[in-house]
Amino acid sequence: MILLASPGQGAQTPGFLQPWLEVPGVADRLAWWSAVTGLDLVRYGTTADAEEIRDTAVAQPLLVAAALAAYEALYPADRAGGSGPDAVAGHSVGELAAAAIAGVLSPEAALVLVRERGKAMAAAAVVTETGMTAVLGGEADEVLAAIDKHGLTPANVNGAGQIVAAGTMERLAAFADEPPAKARLRALSVAGAFHTEHMAPAVDTLRALAPGAPVGDPAIPLLSNRDGAVVGSGRDYLGRLVEQVSAPVRWDSCMATMRELGVRAIIELPPAGTLVGLAKRELKDAGVQTLALKTPEDLEKARELIEAHTS
């Protein structure tokens, strides 16, 4: 079984889309999706600087569009057999790309929702000065206890010795002064405390939009960040997407489900690297192969991996 993984905010780097423009059809798709999102996705993915693409309202549509463009290059509609991945999962905003890959949303519907998600989360982030800090290493129970002690939220429980604390900058500073034993802290380049109570206004925005979104049921196993469950109802998954904006991402649970499903290979869509890094550490004993699809040069290797895992 082969699973596609779509990364979340913070994975983007300046110019990461540049090589993908050489793939036939990608520039045209990005031009169309730029009209859908109201953003010049080509410029943001090629010449914009790090600060510009740090903006939540820009980063989120850019990430979803990049993942979908690479997915279409990897699995072109005219490919013989027309087969796709066996399963799919996304981390945070990557769940919207995963929803489109699984057939729950059209690419356009996913991009409309991520456009509004990004704007609403950006607006929520300026109400209070908040941020996120990755905690690397340490004992999980001790890390969670320290996060709770400082009034923070474990916004991402990523497995493989990585938990992300989120909350006000004042509380994050106090947390940095008293870190958990044997843990390293790294401030993340994000605009606010995502997946916490601070994002409640954005949840309200999406709740108002979701009932009108055209939704189908997943055509392949689709994992949820809430609890790692494989979700069979498109409406259920969309509801989870809405509520997840202010709830912790349980990527550790998603990887546990990958193990249970018998996933043998994971391909991470661009901007790739973070999720396969977690999988290499967490699923190493399960013999899971991983591939970071960073540039079009990696497409042939990805197709070979797909072929090797296709019965």
CA atoms 140, 144, 146, 147: torsion sign: positive
Quote the DSSP letter at residue 221. -
Active-site choice (195, 198, 224, 253): 195
* Residues 157 and 249 sit within 8 Å (Cβ to Cβ): yes
Radius of gyration (Cα) for the chain, nearest Å? Answer: 18
In angstroms, the CA 71 to CA 93 distance is: 16
In angstroms, the CA 90 to CA 275 distance is: 9
- How many angstroms separate the most distant Cα atoms in the chain? 57
Is 195 considered catalytic here? Answer: yes
Instruction: Give how far the C-alpha of residue 125 lies from the chain's centroid of Cα atoms, to the nearest Å.
Output: 18
* Residues 63 and 53 sit within 8 Å (Cβ to Cβ): no
The pair of structure tokens assigned to 16 is: 């990461």
Is 198 considered catalytic here? Answer: no
Active-site choice (92, 224, 246, 253): 92
Q: Which has the closest alpha carbon to 88: 286, 216, 280, 220?
A: 220
| Main-chain phi, psi angles of 85, to 5 degrees | -70, 165
Residues 6+ apart with CB under 8 A from 25: 72, 73
Just list the catalytic residues. Answer: 92, 195
